[in-house]
Structure 1
Amino acid sequence: MADEIRAKLGLSQQMMGSWLGISRNSVALAEGVHRSWPLGTAGQLIRLTLATLGLVYDPAGNRPAPPPLPLPPPEPEPLQSRLAYCEHHAGRLCYELNQLRLKAAPYEARLAALPALRAFTGPVKHPAREENWLALLESETETALLYDCGRGPQKLLEARIAGLEREAEVLRELVEEPAEPTPHA
């Protein structure tokens, strides 16, 4: 039971021993079921156990514990630093996304023109060369759009931007959150 309390509170064997007034080795032996807890530790063990249950030990009758101590507020500097990072990189990625869209526009125009070029039924001076050229144009266009600047690469950037913007939103709320008043003792 004491090892569960120690684990719940995140105490090292050294810290537990310090609370109980015994050595770390004595704690290790008692937890390892090699021997029972040393005499004189029962009172401290009971107090610690009851405290984890929200009770104050009292031989006349246990009573509810006072409210827990407040959580410390987050340090603002790391939050502000990360917020600046997210905002900067989201802006940079928005610029990159705009550049990808500009780069994709001629390739998209090629895709729109290719069916009309192939649908031409009039005489062609060098049909095989023209078909090779159209095939090369289509292949080059498809490769560029798939791997360089098309919807896939654009969507990946949009996802990264959305993640950074959401992270910045959460950080902004934390930075702007008013500090909770500390209770006076």
Structure 2
Amino acid sequence: MSVPPVLFEQATLVRKERGEHTMKIPHHPRSSARRRAPALLLAALAVVAVTGCSSSSSSSTPKAAATTPPASAPVGAPSAGTSATGSAAASASTGTSVTVTEKEYSITPSQTQLAPGTYTFVAENTGTVVHALEIAGPGVSATRTDSIPPGQQAKLTVTLQPGSYELWCPIDSHKALGMDTHIQVAGSSS
């Protein structure tokens, strides 16, 4: 049985006052590790708090995505730092703007019923941790923005066809925590 250091020191003082002989017993080697554990835990939590819940790096400047993919990537293929489009026509136009508000842990588009056509989704991070926006559906396969720091925004331009599209935050487990929604595209393009 291990005696807590404080009780051990108090018992030693009582024995000294009584004139009893005391023998100093060295502390177990793990006792200092146990005292350091809370400090290490606090340091680890501080690192997590500073880095947010992002699994990728971000800067303090907004990373608004470009509206055209690089020449080496096929149209519709997302790449880091750019937005992808569902068709070549989308690269020539920014399309109708749809605001998507992201915060812990919800995602809210300004419109959920759309007509076919080109749209620019403006993802606004009103939360306190890093988020991003990813879209998938007919003609759009998992197209996403770069990481969006708190208080910043990023744009993603896609061409939508009739059908259902999923919008979510791909950062860590944000989707599972509720940052997932759907929009519907119905009718024919004009």
Q: TM-score, normalised by structure 1?
A: 0.23
Larger relative strand fraction: 2
Larger relative helix fraction: 1
Q: TM-score, normalised by structure 2?
A: 0.23
